């Protein structure tokens, strides 16, 4: 974080595939906090809930730790990294087995005050 006004929040080991969470995160990038929360509230995707939780956490961090106003914040960066994969086995025909990968995600949201030009 180059700028000292940037505030970050992270949720680790979220039991959702990163690919699915990225679809939600792509919708809120570079939006204001109010707009983003609105988009997440009406999203039909399950990943919207943990993403909204991380966003609210980032806003709370900005208010409490950096004395920033929440109505002036924008999402500067939002990204999803892949966490460890839980490997499970499903029995198949003729005594064989196939692997099921239960993927996890690390969700990060960075908020910063809006630039007044």
Higher pLDDT, 86 or 69: 86
Report the CATH architecture of 7-113.
Alpha-Beta Complex (3.90)
92 SS3 class: coil
CB 101 within 8 A of CB 1: no
Domain ranges of the chain: 7-113
The stretch 43-68 carries a mean pLDDT of: 94
pLDDT in tens, 74-106: 999 999 999 999 999 999 999 999 999 999 999
CB 6 within 8 A of CB 66: no
% pLDDT > 70, the chain: 96
């Amino acid at each position: 974080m180059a700028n000292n006004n940037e505030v970050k929040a992270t949720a680790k080991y979220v039991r959702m595939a990163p690919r699915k969470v990225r679809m939600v995160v792509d919708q809120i990038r570079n939006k204001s906090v109010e707009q983003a929360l609105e988009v997440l509230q009406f999203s039909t995707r399950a990943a919207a809930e943990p993403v909204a939780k991380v966003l609210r956490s980032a806003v709370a961090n900005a208010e409490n730790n950096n004395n920033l106003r929440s109505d002036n914040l924008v999402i500067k960066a939002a990204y999803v990294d892949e966490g460890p994969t839980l490997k499970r086995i499903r029995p198949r025909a003729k005594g064989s087995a196939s692997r099921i990968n239960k993927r996890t995600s690390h969700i990060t949201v960075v908020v910063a005050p809006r630039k007044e030009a």
